[in-house]
Amino acid sequence: MSATHADSQAGQFVSYLGNGHTWQSWLLTKDHKRIAILYLISITVFFLLGGIFAAAVRLELLTPQSDFMDAETYNKMFTMHGVVMIFFFLIPSIPATIGNFLIPIMVGAKDLAFPKINLLSWYLYMIGGTCGLIAAVTGGVETGWTFYTPYSSTYSNSAVIITAMGAFVAGFSSILTGLNFVVTIHKMRAPGLTWGRLPLFVWAHYATSLIQLLGTPVVAITLVLMMLERAFRIGFFDPALGGDPVLFQHLFLFYSHPAVYIMILPGMGVISEIVTCFSRKHVFGYKFIAGSSLGIAIIGFFVWGHHMFVSGQSVYASLVFAFITQAVAVPSAIKVFNWTATMYKGSVSWDTPMLYALGFIGLFTIGGVTGVVVAMVGVDMHLHDTYFIVAHFHYVMVGGMVLAYLGGLHFWWPKMTGRMYHEIWARVSAVLVFLGFNFTFFPQFLLGYMGMPRRYASYPEEWQVLHILSTAGATVLGIGFLLPAIYLTASALKKHPDAGMNPFGAKGLEWTIPSPPPTENFLEMPVVREEVYAYAETEEKALVGH
């Protein structure tokens, strides 16, 4: 990215990109925007790595026999795919990139509350990710990303400890990011920016941060106990030593279920912003969307046992968890209804971010609904650990979260870089992603329903057609992911910024400052006098303070 004095729109300041060109100015930066870019680059690298593992999995599944690789190698492929995608891509994705970039701007501040801790977060993430890389090259892990004991603590002969260390350290990166966001949102809002005027993107990140703070430490200590058990052969979770493996699952899943909400809530925040902008309308039911973010965060802590229906957990506990799981779907459904209602009688346009948002709404709904299906204990008896579950979570995590991530990247790309990407290529990619995704994962619902177990390298011959379809879809999906990497990078390499301050005509504090923004964000401290999403005419807008 070349950033000369020509970057300044007003002509009197240097953008954050031009403010220093040495490696120290980037690697020792305290500017939240530069840290966001550091995260963006590293997260993209890990996404690519996770994608390579996925490609290996799909390649093996083209044929019914375990012929391309043996079962143990296959186990390593899907484990590393899960570990990398969850801990080093999905959990940081939107918060660490777009969130880091935008939260201070959206609340009208110069930076986050603790800039040095923000930089520390990135270094912790890199250390964690490096542990994951070391694990990958020293033989990999084949326990499944869930590290269930006693296989992980006693019997596995793979790089369990280094991988668990990677997840542990990355977890602290996540905790510190959440801490920074909560303090910033509480304490650093500009004058006039009441909670009722906060963008829903900020509400979503607030809820996400609560989960990060409350849940991540539990998985941290659980991984420590598992590593101690493995290193010293002491009994916490190994039944041979008097321990209970189900206890590991309780403690691990106390975090890992809310973790999926860490992954999806920021995406929902992005969708709220995109849908209002490209419907040119105030969001329908602002309070309900804001409240539902908190609802998802809180209720999400009460449902982890729905991953354990077949683990040996008491059936009475399973019933409690199943019942509450039905409830957690409600706030998500509220959001889907409200986004749809926002579009109703709005002026909808088909820009790339909106294409991703529409894809999100449809695919997340399918994923969410299938989650409710398997939340029923009787159904889960048959569907647990089948491809139905695999399809369910990929619909919400890829069809939902990754689409939201791409949509958000495209929406705020002109703000972050000051340059517009090639719109036609962008729309083509969005369509490819949508089509590729459905061809990859819809067959997996069918496979799972018919009984194909997950984490198996071989399967009965009659299912090969569906698997070939799935792999073909995955190839299209991969192309759909590769194209943005190319055209977005190409746009960033343009010599001069061409995007303007507000290319989409959106409402929000971030669209009132130059693209790319100056290091201090605002040339003068903003005072907020308008309601949020003040798109519609007359009666919806309340001008306060005049």
Partner 1 sequence: MTHHDQHGHSQGGVHAHISSTGMYVTIFFVLMICTILTYAVSTIDLGAFNFVVAIGIAVFKASLVILYFMHVKWSQILTKLAVVVAVIFLLILLLLTATDYTSRNWLPDQPGWEKHQVLR
Partner 2 sequence: MSDTNTMAVAHPLPEEHVAHQFHDAQQQYESGNLGMWLFLLTEVMFFGGMFGAYAVYRAWSPEAFKLAAATTNVPLGAFNTVVLIVSSLTMALAVQSAQLGKQKRLQLMLVLTMIFGAAFLGVKAVEYSEKWHHHHVPGLNWQWEGEGPREVQILFCLYFAMTGMHAIHMVVGFGIMLWLLMTARRGVYTASYYNPVEISGLYWHFVDIVWIFLFPLLYLI
Closest CA to 404 of 544, 512, 263: 263
Taking the complex as a whole, how short is the minimal distance between the CB of residue 36 and partner 2, in angstroms?
15
Tell me which stretch binds partner 1 (CB under 8 A): 48-56, 197-205, 312-320, 387-395.
Answer: 312-320
To the nearest whole angstrom, how small is the minimum distance from the Cβ of residue 335 to partner 2?
22
Amino acid identity, residue 12?
Q
The rounded distance, in Å, linking the Cα atoms of 394 and 260 is: 11
- What residues between 196 and 225 interact with partner 2 by CB under 8 A? 213-218, 220-222, 224-225
- The Cα–Cα gap between 515 and 504 comes to 12
Work out how close the CB of 182 gets to partner 2 at its nearest, in angstroms, rounded to a whole number.
6
Q: How far apart are CA 402 and CA 384, in angstroms?
A: 24
Residue among 380 and 510 whose Cβ is closer to partner 2: 510
Per CB under 8 A, does 305 bind partner 1?
yes
Q: What distance in Å separates the CA atoms of residue 238 and residue 150, rounded to the nearest whole number?
A: 5
Q: Could you give the string, one character per residue 487-526, with x where binding to partner 2 holds by CB under 8 A and - elsewhere? A: --------------------xxx-xx---------xxxxx
Binding mask 148-187 for partner 1 (x = CB under 8 A): --------------------------------------x-
Question: Is 188 one of the binding residues for partner 1 (CB under 8 A)?
Answer: no
DSSP letters of 233-297?
A: ---SS-GGGT--HHHHHHHHHHHHHHHHHHHHHHHHHHHHHHHHHHHTSPPTTHHHHHHHHHHHH
Q: Which distant-in-sequence residues (6+ apart) come within 8 Å of 465 by Cβ? A: none
Stretch that binds partner 2, among 110-118, 141-149, 322-330, 489-497 (CB under 8 A): 110-118
113, interface contact from partner 2, partner 1, none, CB < 5-8 Å by kind = partner 2
235 touches partner 2 (CB under 8 A): yes
From the CB of 255, what's the least distance to partner 1, in Å? 10
327 makes contact with partner 2 (CB under 8 A) = no
| 254 touches partner 1 (CB under 8 A) | yes
Give 518's strand partners: 15
- C-alpha–C-alpha distance, residues 270 and 410, integer Å: 11
* Residue 526 φ then ψ, to 5°: -75, 150
Three-state DSSP string of 409-458:
HHHHHHHHHCCCCCHHHHHHHHHHHHHHHHHHHHHHHHHHHHCCECCCCC
Residue 294 interacting with partner 1 (CB under 8 A): no
Distance CA 455, CA 91 (A): 22
Site for partner 2 contains 244 (CB under 8 A): yes
Rounded Cα gap, residues 75 and 72, in angstroms: 5
From 88-96, 130-138, 176-184, 343-351, give the range in contact with partner 2 by CB under 8 A: 176-184
246 binds partner 1, rule: CB under 8 A: yes
Cβ atoms within 10 A of the Cβ of 104, count?
28
Q: Which of 243, 331, 399, 443 binds partner 2 (CB under 8 A)?
A: 243
222 binds, among partner 2, partner 1, none (CB under 5 to 8 A by kind): partner 2
Minimal distance in Å, beta carbon 345 to partner 2? 23
Q: What is the rounded CA–CA span in Å between residue 100 and residue 121?
A: 11
* 385 binding partner (options partner 2, partner 1, none; Cβ < 5 to 8 Å by kind): none
Q: At what angle do helices 71-83 and 160-187 cross, to 10 degrees?
A: 20
203 is a site residue for partner 1 (CB under 8 A): no
Q: How many residues bind partner 1 (CB under 8 A)?
A: 19
Residue 392: how many CA atoms within 13 Å on its side-chain side? 21
Cα separation of the two ends of the chain:
42
Residues in contact with partner 1 by CB under 8 A are: 186, 214, 218, 242, 246-247, 250-251, 254, 301-302, 304-305, 313-317, 320
Residues in contact with partner 2 by CB under 8 A are: 104, 108-115, 175, 179-180, 182-183, 186-188, 190-191, 213-218, 220-222, 224-225, 228, 231-236, 241-244, 247, 250-251, 254, 507-509, 511-512, 522-530, 532, 534
